[in-house]
Structure 1
Amino acid sequence: MAEQQPPDIKLPDPVEFSKSMAGIAERSQKLVSEFLERQQQEGNGGASALDPMNIGAAFMEMTSKMMADPAKMMQAQMTLWQDYMRLWQSTAQRMMGQEADPVAAPERGDRRFKHSEWDENELFDYVKQSYLLTARWMQSTVKDVEGLDDKTAQKVDFYTRQFVDAMAPSNFLMTNPEVLKETLESGGENLVKGLENLLDDLERGKGRLKIKMTDTEAFELGANIAVTPGKVVYQNDLMQLLQYEPTTKQVNKRPLLIIPPWINKFYILDLRPKNSFIRWAVEQGHTVFVISWVNPDEKLAAKTFEDYMMEGPLDALNAIEKATGEKDANVIGYCLGGTLLACTLSYMAAKKDNRVKSATFFTTMMDFSDSGELGVFIDEVQLAALEEKMNQKGYLEGAEMATTFNMLRANDLIWSFVVNNYLMGKDPFPFDLLYWNSDSTRMPAAMHSFYLRNMYQENRLPEPGGIRLKGVDIHLSKIKVPASLISTREDHIAPWKATYAATQMLGGPVKFILAGSGHIAGVVNPPEAKKYGYWTNAKNPTTPDDWINAASEHGGSWWPEWGKWVGGYSDGKVAARKPGDGKLKVLEDAPGSYAKVKAQD
């Protein structure tokens, strides 16, 4: 058998290496100085500043409950020890050339251990399995602690998983075979480049780590992303209204209004022509209008949830009538935009305003009693700290919200980039979805505080009159508008079983469609992709489990299914309408100036 050749080891050029390290040292010193100066300016801030997530109290309570049952803890330790003995035996068998089944294997879809060395090399296979055993033991032990309230148990479980993910051997130089190979072959150039990438991200975040997820220079709104032809035909302090150019000779008489969430920018529905829901809806003969929310600054600090309703969908409906001559419209609300739509419809019902003829809710929560893992971030201590921070500036920084969402999928949206950017020393790949994900938005202080407290913390929306807007009690049961609910089966932001509750709360006929995949991919799923599939059921039983057990599964995208449903409310056909044809003048080209404002501007 031929001898295995050792990997080529490249030695770095000493002059270039010295220059690189000198530059890194200078930038590092500057960052540390700026950090210390900022800490001094911000001051102590009390206990909430030291633990703004209120994690310490949760883990102290968990520890006290755990120590109260030492026998259970000892049993857990024994189970871990037995698993390690099995792993030692399995590894020894492999080292002697024998076959051995793994004691622990990564879950399906776990891409951290995709490199072949994690399986083929006995040492790295042992490191991998050792980590998986310990991680699963830690998480199961924490989950089994009795006596914790649901909120504390959820928080402990979430942050234990954050710790477990952070400690993965794939995240460290000496225990990642792919990084080791790259280091040897490049003479450590990957680590120097990675350190430069790290400093770049710290500088962009002004001392806080702002991980670069994609090549931000590769995309430009209106040039190669958000390119469906359209115009801005109306604007106010909170939004611009976009009207898209028709591509059919005739269009549905009743226009279509889309209300996106203001936590993100609207162009998630118009990334590229191949996956643009807006383009597709135009091609189906809809006159499409989309709200593009402003990226607010301190001047809009006092804007409330009521203002978002009045200056958002209600102003948009008035503008659409001027643009098209049509008083009625079909309306879509996405995520938080859907929650706003539900409130608006109840307000309109009280005002005898029946302009909305059908309502579609994309991944929308109306009952927040099961808010998924986002509930981890909502308690009195955290809300008070957040409000204090918002009141200082008048808004919540876009990066704060982005970090929260990234933590929900830390391995994909944090640690994969740590490995790629900092350990491998590579630049991130251009990806339209991640560009959008990084294009964060700010939140006005008054509106965001109202939303978090009344929806997430106190769950007032399902209560008749629990929320009052512009002097009107909100009653979801008074909404008689035909509704279609589109939820996604793997949604980590709006869990589908939580969104299903709306089928029992709305007062009109409801069609519920459950799509495959998650909060974004499940919605942005064009028919051409032929992916994921969806489920339908002619009835809406009381529980989501009963619904899915009797549901029919279909292949491909849900878009055509919804298209047939909304087509029933089109009110016939008229000649195609172009932006500017009606009483509203064209202000500028889509995607408009509001969408182009960056959170850091």
Structure 2
Amino acid sequence: MLAQFTGGISPVALSLAWLDWSSHLAAAPQRQTEIVKNAVRDTGRFVEAALHATSPDRKPWSVIQPQRRDRRFREPQWETAPFNLMAQAFLLGESWWHDAATGVRGVAPANEAVVEFATRQMLDIFAPSNFAATNPEVLEKAFQSGGENFVFGLQNWCNDLMRMLSGAKPAGDGQFVVGKTVAASPGKVVYRNELIELIQYHPTTAQVRPEPILIVPAWIMKYYILDLSPHNSLVRYLTGQGFTVFAISWRNPDAKDRDVAFDDYRKSGVMAALDTIGRIVPGRAIHALGYCLGGTLLSIAAAAMARDGDKRLGTISLLAAQTDFTEAGELTLFINESQVAFLEDMMWKRGYLDTTQMAGAFALLRSNDLIWSRLSHDYLMGEASSPSDLMAWNADATRLPYRMHSEYLRKLFLDNDLAEGHYRVDDRNISLSDIHAPMFVVGTLSDHVAPWRSVYKLHYQVDADVTFLLTSGGHNAGVVAAPEEPGHSYQLMTKAADAPYVGPDEWLKLAPHVEGSWWPEWSKWLAARSGEPCDPPQIGLGDGSGLPDAPGDYVHT
């Protein structure tokens, strides 16, 4: 009951973090003095700026500027008085609290991060952009529309409230229909078990590369993030480049699946798919691609296969996938022993982790973009958000079985078994160092879920040639980077298995910048490790099993 009230966040974990910080700060008079001095200094700077607020040669943002990724105050209206002073006062307070919450000797780093994050979340509530009277953009819109924006904003709020209470999809999502406008690449389900449907996509070229591609998506969300609209579908792009593509579609679990284990996803997911592909195109090496948690699972499967002498994987590609979770970004703030125990208690009653808990955690990681900016845009400006295929996919959430999610959090996040060589498959240890197949690893520059420096750690974990690519964008938008879309760029460099290790900061300086999508680069990399084009393989096993066409049935559950 308490977990449902707090949204799945453990109050004990938060209390312990605050106690650690406050007690060490209380015992550090020198740090207290520094914090007070900083407050006096910032107050003086602000007063001086306020005294010159009406000066004709006044420069906006003379005291403090918004960070590059802070889009709340980017419009020119925020450069006018008194709104510029309000914004600077808020940013100074935010900066002062960040300084006060960090740098206290003796505080555990994890607790310091929790305090800083929680403080930032509370301060963001009071940003001047969140209130009509202190937001110049809202006031200008109200003046131009005669206050009509507030009427439209109230309508938007009522519509969102009704949709939330009824469980309906967000407004505008009706134009994105799975199987028609999204997840619409032609194909057929060629295998099904209790956990997956395996989709084989129809070829779109006269000849194809002999080595098929297997896509292993995360089961946190629906698989079709890589098969969105036709213009930004990675599946459609790959078939257009002459590849035979298979993709796993995970079934959405419910309460009866509470005891499905993490290793069941490997056996009934990755391994079952590889076995089926081996029957359709026997004797062919397979290009395996894993995205997010699917990439972590693929890494585990690949290490176990390498340990057992299974050489079916010709190459391995990982998109925003972590194999070492010691620096997994702000997501780790929600994962410690107290928090995991709290989540387990909550999941025990239901048998699964509900979609709202995960969506809430991800929203907090980008609260300015996903919560407060939307409040201002939809409810104060009265402008309904334009729907997109990516937003529709994001709202099509899935559940996570109790046992699987508990094992995932404990073995990978808390204990970091995979990186430390303690992870066991079939009651035997596996090691990523056993992987020798060439690897193509993609990190995204603004990733809040799998920070690229964490993804980069694979360089010293495997004994293989690693081509690392860092692309612009975030965890989803950076991966869904169609060549026709402007604004994409990336850096790329390959490290041979026997080459010296290059750290991430040095890599960032050495790797050349390239404008455009990373998809053609990866396609070229795959083609260089594939055989000469040949006739396309048959669709399925030819046994007339009566399975449905793509996108299958599981995607609708």
Using the size of structure 2 for normalisation, the TM-score is 0.92
Note if 1:379 corresponds to 2:336.
yes
* 1:486 paired to 2:442: yes
Structure 2 residue runs of 5 or longer lacking an equivalent are: none
Q: What residue in structure 2 maps to residue 558 of structure 1?
A: 518
Query: In 2 relative to 1, CA 449–574 (structure 1 residues): closer, same or farther, beyond 3 Å?
Result: same
Residue 508 (1) aligns with residue 467 (2): no
CA distance in 2, matches of 1:546, 1:573: 39
Q: Residues 88 and 202 from structure 1, CA distance in 2 versus in 1: closer, same or farther, beyond 3 angstroms?
A: same
Q: Is residue 2:382 matched to residue 1:422?
A: no
Deviates most, 500-509 or 97-106: 97-106
Over the aligned positions, Cα root-mean-square deviation in angstroms equals: 2.6
1:302 is aligned to 259
Residue 528 of structure 2 is matched in structure 1 by: 568
Choose from 213, 227, 236 the match for 1:279. 236
* Deviation per residue, 1:500-519 (Å, 9 max, x gap): 22121113332222223322
- What amino acid sits opposite 2:101 in the alignment? V
Structure 1, unaligned runs of 5 or more: 1-41
**What SS does the aligned partner of 1:508 have?**
coil
Residue 460 of structure 1 corresponds to: 417
Q: Measure how far apart 1:220 and its partner are.
A: 1.1
Determine if the alignment matches structure 1 residue 245 to structure 2 residue 205: no
Rounded to whole Å, the distance in 2 between the matches of 1:125 and 1:545 is: 35
User: CA offsets, 1:373-400, max 9 Å, x none?
Assistant: 1110111111011011111111000111
1:27 matched to which residue of 2?
none
Task: Indicate the larger mover: 84-93 or 301-310.
Answer: 84-93
Give how far 1:365 is off: 0.8
Aligned residue for 1:331? 288
**What SS is found at the alignment partner of 1:560?**
helix
Task: Kindly indicate whether the alpha-carbon contact (under 8 Å) linking 1:76 and 1:141 is maintained by their aligned counterparts in 2.
Answer: yes
2:510 aligned partner, one-letter code: A
Match of 1:440 among 397, 420, 429: 397
Which residue number corresponds to residue 590 of structure 1? 550
CA distance in 1, matches of 2:202, 2:7: 50
Q: Distance in 1 between matches of 2:429 and 2:9?
A: 40
Q: Which residue type is aligned with residue 579 of structure 1? A: I
Alignment of 1:154-303 (within 5 A): 154-183=113-142, 190-191=149-150, 193-206=152-165, 215-303=172-260
Deviations 1:77-129 (A, max 9, x none): 33333333333333332324343352122222422123433212x11111111
Structure 1 pair 392–537 and aligned structure 2 pair: CA distance change class (3 A)? same
- Residue 79 (structure 2) pairs with residue 119 (structure 1): yes
> What is the alpha-carbon distance in structure 2 between the residues aligned to residue 162 and residue 586 of structure 1?
52
**Per-residue deviation at 1:559?**
1.9
Instruction: Indicate which of 532, 536, 539 corresponds to 1:579.
Output: 539
Given the alignment of the two structures, is residue 361 of structure 1 paired with residue 318 of structure 2, yes or no?
Answer: yes
Q: Report deviation, 1:290.
A: 0.6
Q: What is the match of residue 390 of structure 1? A: 347
Aligned length: 552
**Runs of 4+ residues over 6 Å off in structure 1:** 43-50, 210-213
Structure 2 distance, partners of 1:203, 1:46, is 20
Partner of 2:22: 63
Residue 469 in structure 1 maps to residue 429 in structure 2: no
CA distance in 1, matches of 2:2, 2:508: 53
1:198 CA displacement: 3.6
Alpha-carbon distance, 1:250 to partner:
0.2
Equivalents in 1 of 2:170, 2:3: separation in Å?
Answer: 32
Cα offsets for 1:401-449 (capped at 9, x unmatched):
1111111111111111122233333322112212212221110111110
CA contact 2:163–2:169 (8 Å) conserved in 1: no
Aligned pair partner of 2:302 in 334, 345, 357: 345
**What is the alpha-carbon distance in structure 1 between the residues aligned to residue 176 and residue 218 of structure 2?**
22
The alpha-carbon distance between structure 1 residues 289 and 96, as it changes in their structure 2 partners (threshold 3 A), is same
1:88 partner letter: V
- Once the two structures are TM-superposed, the CA of residue 192 in structure 1 deviates from its matched residue by 5.1
Q: State the 1:183 CA deviation.
A: 4.5
SS at match of 2:305: helix
CA distance in 2, matches of 1:114, 1:233: 50
CA contact (8 A) 1:303 1:446 kept: yes
- 1:36 corresponds to which residue? none
- Distance in 2 between residues matched to 1:212 and 1:172, nearest whole Å: 27
Report deviation, 1:68.
2.1
Distance 1:65 1:203, change over 3 A: farther
Q: Residues 217 and 292 of structure 2 are in contact (CA less than 8 Å); yes or no, is this contact kept in structure 1?
A: yes
Relative to 1, partners in 2 of residues 1:212 and 1:171: Cα closer, same or farther, differing over 3 Å?
A: farther
CA contact (8 A) 1:257 1:332 kept: yes
Distance 1:211 1:94 in 2: 48
CA contact (8 A) 1:233 1:586 kept: no
Q: Give the SS at the match of 1:486.
A: strand
Relative to structure 1, is the Cα distance of residues 181 and 52 closer, same or farther in structure 2, using a 3 angstrom cutoff?
same
Question: Is 1:80 matched up with 2:39?
Answer: yes
Q: Does the 8 A contact of 1:335 with 1:362 survive in 2?
A: yes
Secondary structure of the equivalent of 1:113? Answer: coil
> How far off its partner does 1:271 sit?
1.6
The whole-number CA distance in structure 2 between the counterparts of 1:327 and 1:586 is 26
SS at match of 2:296: helix
TM-score relative to the length of structure 1: 0.85
Change in 2 beyond 3 A, CA 1:308/1:53: farther
Aligned-pair identity in percent equals 39
Q: For the residues of structure 2 that align with 1:50 and 1:560, how far apart are their CA atoms?
A: 42
SS in 1 for 2:417: coil
Report the secondary structure of 1:103's partner residue: coil
Distance 1:49 1:589 in 2: 38
Report what 1:547 is aligned to: 507
What is the rounded CA distance, in whole Å, between the counterparts of 1:467 and 1:449 in structure 2?
15
The one of 344, 354, 361 equivalent to 1:404 is: 361
* CA positional deviation for 1:204: 4.0
Q: Greater CA radius of gyration, 1 or 2?
A: 1
CA distance in 1, matches of 2:504, 2:137: 44
- Which amino acid in 2 is paired with 1:64? S
- Partners in 1 of 2:316 and 2:446 — Cα distance? 23
| 1:110 matches 2:70 | yes
Deviations 1:307-334 (A, max 9, x none): 1001101111122233334553111011
> For residues 172-194 of structure 1, what are the alpha-carbon distances to aligned partners after superposition, in whole Å with 9 as ceiling and x for unaligned?
22212233344456565544554
Question: Does the aligned pair in 2 maintain the 1:52–1:385 contact within 8 Å?
Answer: no
- Aligned partner of 1:136 in structure 2 is 95
- What letter is aligned with 2:550? A
1:312 aligned to which of 269, 286, 306: 269
> Which residue of 431, 436, 452 maps to 1:496?
452
Distance 1:118 1:376 in 2: 33
User: How far apart are the structure 2 equivalents of 1:47 and 1:527?
Assistant: 42
